[in-house]
Amino acid sequence: MLTPKTEGSVRTIDVDSIVINLLNLHKQEQGKIIKENKPFYIDKGFIFATNEGYPKTIKHIAIRMQRLLKKTTIKKHVTPHSFRHTHTSLLIEANVHIKEIQERLGHSDINTTMDIYAHMTNIKKEASNKFSNLMENLSKKLID
């Protein structure tokens, strides 16, 4: 098993009740696999495990995704990592604060988050507008 990239990679995130329900269903199915493979299954508590209990690799998941995508009309190149970007884009669209997004992604530095995702936000434009409004208000006060 590979170790996480950074200390921030190991974190707790909140998920909604729909995800919790899906994970519980998955856990039930996994329970059946554990029973069927009892003598060989090494249970280390992985959510997505092989029939022997070891964690599934990103490559395994990517191959499975490609097989499933071939059965669809989707022609875009999609990887498991694509879901991270999609999730982040949806958080930005939902007006989740960038600091919360940084913590959810496990970035130790907010600049990392900003460098990767600032183009998806109106933060630069918003900062410019706020500064412009501030200067306008200050100018009015000086004139009055």
- Residue 86 above 70 pLDDT? yes
Tens digits of residue pLDDT in 37-72: 999 999 999 999 999 999 999 999 999 999 999 999
Tens digits of residue pLDDT in 95-125: 888 899 999 998 888 888 888 887 776 655 6
Domain layout of the chain by residue ranges: 14-56, 73-144
What mean pLDDT is reported for the chain?
Answer: 86
Using alpha carbons, select from 103, 95, 88 the residue that is nearest to residue 123.
Answer: 95
Place of tokens 């209990």: 53
- Residue 132 above 80 pLDDT? no
pLDDT given for residue 125 in this prediction: 60
Q: Are 31 and 52 in contact (CB under 8 A)?
A: no
In sequence order, the 6+-apart residues with CB closer than 8 A to the CB of 135 are: none
